[in-house]
Structures are given as C-alpha cells and as structure tokens.
Amino acid sequence: MQEDSLRALWTERVDQWRSSELSQRVFCEQHGWPLNRLVYWARRLKEGGGPVRLVAVKISGKVAESEANVPLTLCGAGGWQLVMLAQPDAAWLADLLRRLP
C-alpha cells in the first residue's frame, strides 16, 4: 500500500478511535486491528507526521554583514535539528523538505 494511502487509512482509524472514547485495546479488539499499529499511528500522527508545508519568507532591507553568515537551523516535530553553516540553494532546500517524512 502506498504511504499516502496508508497514512489516510490510519488517520481515519485514529480519528475513529479518538471519538469512540474506548481504550486503544478495546477499540482494536472490536475492529480486529493490531493494537501495535494503532499505537504507532496515533503517536506518529500526534507528533506532526503530516506533510511539510513550505512558507515563503521575504527579507526586506539590508542584512548586516555579520548576519549574512548566520547558520540556518531546521527543527522537526520529532525533536531533530539540522544546522547548515552555509546558506543552501532555495531549490535544494525545498527538495530536501519535500523528502522529509
């Protein structure tokens, strides 16, 4: 099953579980679904495992020379950080962000 289809399926199942007011175990037993899959997807979807959204940023005015070489830090919802000392090409950065889980 494609990643997008799998995500959509489990997003719907997690939403159903959350609105059911049942425990994860009871909900899975009633539906015949593996408990470990519901636990995994509930955690993954809660941590912001959603698609990456790119936001356009425009810098107006002059940037001081001392600010031109400030590291770029990307922070993920899962707690990871990527620090880039050199400013990357915008197209390369957009491609990287699209490929992140």
Q: Tens digit of pLDDT for each residue in 31-83?
A: 999 999 999 888 888 765 555 566 666 666 666 666 666 788 877 766 778 88
What pTM does this model have?
0.47
**Widest pairwise Cα distance in the chain:** 63
User: What average pLDDT does range 77-96 have in this prediction?
Assistant: 79
pLDDT for position 34: 92
Looking at the DSSP bridge assignments, the partners of residue 1 are none
User: What average pLDDT does range 86-94 have in this prediction?
Assistant: 81
66: its two tokens? 């001392």
d(CA 12, CA 49): 14
